Amino acid sequence: MSREQDPVELKKTALYEEHVKASAKMVDFGGWLMPVQYSGIIQEHHAVRSALGVFDISHMGEVFVSGPGAGAWLNRMLTNNVDRLSVGEGQYTFLLNEEGGVIDDLLLYRIAAEEFFLVVNASKIEEDVAWLRRHLAEGASLVDKSEETAALAIQGPQTVPFYAALAGGTALPPRNGIAPVVIDGIEALVCRTGYTGEDGFEIFFPATDAARLWRTILEKGGEFGIKPCGLGSRDTLRLEMCYPLNGSDLSPKRTPLEAGLGFFVDLEKPEFTGRSVLLKQKEEGVKERLVAFTMRDKCPPPRSHYPVVKDGAVIGETTSGSLSPSLATGIGMAYLPVEHAKVGGEIEIDIRGRHFVAVIGKKPLYRPQA
């Protein structure tokens, strides 16, 4: 927890008391008091890779956009192509500033012909909503339901049988899909996405029902090996998959092309914020690229903001870093000049004054079992 911030000023999700009862270690995460671990980061990590884990993601933002002009407006605000979405489908996309830098990475779902659901990062709710409202077009309306909505992410190879047991035999939506569902009498939206690389889904529902649904999931998930998981394992899981963390691997000073995420940018669209910058960057080529690396030898785990060295010169710094429980070695990501960003190349990470060799790897660094 930050020393500068009084705990009473931190926001709490509707599941705060449940986390405390479960003896979770609570920390300050972007102004929210959140569980970083319960039984331990490594144990929780392996639970998701081998069976099932449940995360409280109620700190994230939920925004609804509707109206006859909603789709066209969102297509001008976001990088991916909204027109490609049928009802019940979703996509990963970016909200950019005029310089092409990432304000936020988010998930967008079409829940009706003229209605959309956006899931935004917790630390960006106010900024995203303010930006969108400032640019709101005629024919589109926006409602922020973040404060009244709770959300849980269930991830792991036992996802399909567990969901059938939880939702009375109801089938999960297809990958990146969304559908309404009733679980334990609670009306919710279920999305089949995730941030771990494993199969999984998210449930969005009224915050007043959070404690009841949390207990139901843990009770019914017992036979499937479910464990409550905190932000610590969420970070190691996403890092093994090289999924970016906003504020670390993504920032307003970095573009999606530099982050290697051009697949989620449709430059064929005639208009969206930041397009001209990205178009020029694609034509000229990026000067730096976000790479993933694995430590070659045994060493302390790399963390963010560690210098990256090549031939005795600092060429960048790490954006993320951790011990990978699945690979049993240190891993991380860093922006490097393109001439030093080739897969297989060796770099050095300065860890508290000592240099350790790392090898640039192909993303993702870990591939879940089929």
Residue 5: per-residue pLDDT: 43
Residue 321: per-residue pLDDT: 98
- Of the candidate CATH numbers 3.30.1360.120, 3.40.190.10, 3.40.50.1820, 3.40.1010.10, the domain formed by 7-60+148-240 belongs to 3.30.1360.120
Residue 8: per-residue pLDDT: 55
Q: CA 157: distance to chain centroid?
A: 19
Q: Is the pLDDT of residue 55 over 70?
A: yes
Q: Is the pLDDT of residue 50 over 80?
A: yes
**What's the mean per-residue pLDDT of the chain?**
96
Residue 368: per-residue pLDDT: 85
Residue 183: per-residue pLDDT: 96
- Of the candidate CATH numbers 3.40.605.10, 3.40.50.720, 3.40.50.10330, 3.30.70.1400, the domain formed by 61-144 belongs to 3.30.70.1400
Q: Over the stretch 3-43, which tens digit does the pLDDT of each residue have?
A: 344 445 899 999 999 999 999 999 999 899 999 999 999 99
SS3 category, 101 = coil
Residue 3: per-residue pLDDT: 37
Q: Is the pLDDT of residue 110 over 60?
A: yes
Q: Over the stretch 231-269, which tens digit does the pLDDT of each residue have?
A: 999 999 999 999 999 999 999 999 999 999 999 999 999
Residue 231: per-residue pLDDT: 97
Whole-angstrom Cα distance, residue 283 to residue 276?
Answer: 11
pTM (predicted TM-score) = 0.95
Q: Tell me the CA end-to-end span of the chain in Å, nearest whole number.
A: 38
Helices (H), 124-265: 125-134, 159-166, 210-220, 231-240
CB within 8 Å of 46: residues ≥ 6 apart = 325, 326
Domain boundary assignment for the chain: 7-60+148-240, 61-144, 287-361
Q: Is the pLDDT of residue 1 over 90?
A: no
Strand 102-112 and strand 90-96: the pairing is antiparallel
From the list 167, 164, 170, the residue with the least C-alpha distance to 183 is 167
Stretch 259-286: mean pLDDT, rounded?
A: 97
Residue 9: per-residue pLDDT: 83
Backbone angles phi, psi at 27, to 5 degrees: -140, 165
Residue 370: per-residue pLDDT: 61
Stretch 190-218: mean pLDDT, rounded?
A: 98
Residue 193: per-residue pLDDT: 95
Whole-angstrom Cα distance, residue 320 to residue 327?
Answer: 16
Q: Are 300 and 349 in contact (CB under 8 A)?
A: no
Q: Which CATH class is domain 287-361?
A: mainly beta
**Fold match flag (7-60+148-240 vs 61-144):** no
Q: CA 267: distance to chain centroid?
A: 23
Exposed (0-12), middle (13-18) or buried (19+): which is 284, by Cβ within 10 Å?
A: exposed
CB within 8 Å of 339: residues ≥ 6 apart = none
Stretch 167-192: mean pLDDT, rounded?
A: 96
Q: What tokens were used for 307?
A: 């210098």
Residue 4: per-residue pLDDT: 41
CB within 8 Å of 223: residues ≥ 6 apart = none
Residue 77: per-residue pLDDT: 98
Residue 30: per-residue pLDDT: 86
Name the β-bridge partners of 222. none
Q: Are 230 and 24 in contact (CB under 8 A)?
A: yes
Query: How many CA atoms, within 13 angstroms, populate the side-chain half-sphere of residue 357?
Result: 7
Q: Over the stretch 63-93, which tens digit does the pLDDT of each residue have?
A: 999 999 999 999 999 999 999 999 999 999 9
When pLDDT is cut at 50, 70 and 90, the band that residue 151 belongs to is: very high
Residue 2: per-residue pLDDT: 37
Q: What tokens were used for 30?
A: 């972007």
Instruction: Kindly report the number of other CB atoms within 10 A of residue 268's CB atom.
Output: 6
Q: What tokens were used for 117?
A: 């659901």
